[in-house]
Amino acid sequence: MPTPTYDLIASNVLGSATASVTFSSIPATYRDLVLVATATSSSNDVPFIRFNSDSSSIYSGLTMNGDGGTAYSSTQSSPFSYAGFWNSQITTDATLAKIQIMDYSATDKHKTFISRLDQAIFGRTAAYAHRFGTTTAISSLTFSMLSGTFSAGSSFYLYGIVS
């Protein structure tokens, strides 16, 4: 079995604070996608992901996280999928998010994706399992803050996985 390789499709390092980052015209030539974000925020906020500008309530997910003392879990159904939690105290210690989108270009199944976050300053880690309930291929994704902004210097890299 061949070793998967990551091809950089696009990147964005923010020169100023912004509420969202969009990757569009994603080629359908890869098996999976991986979005890696290292970001800070100036507010307590929740980042989310939306595909193909779709704001219908076809996203669902399960959240699992912990901080070494307490474990948490929840479910969601909304017009986007939460991708974690940014806290105002991480303005100097970025959150690392890795979101893997499986079979993003397939048109015969719903899309599934997992996200993992690490906030070293809090000793917190989180994992999210998501479903985008459509068979439409993903050609764009937007990573946004619910009400705040990603700080200048935050970086976003979108990779295609080739097997």
- Place 114 in a pLDDT band, splitting at 50, 70 and 90: confident
The mean of the pLDDT values for the chain is 81
* CATH domain 5-162 topology: Jelly Rolls (2.60.120)
Give the integer Cα–Cα distance in Å for 134 and 40: 31
| Tokens, residue 143 | 């990573």
- Place 148 in a pLDDT band, splitting at 50, 70 and 90: confident
Nearest CA-CA partner of 157 in 28, 5, 4, 6: 6
Q: Where are the domains of the chain?
A: 5-162
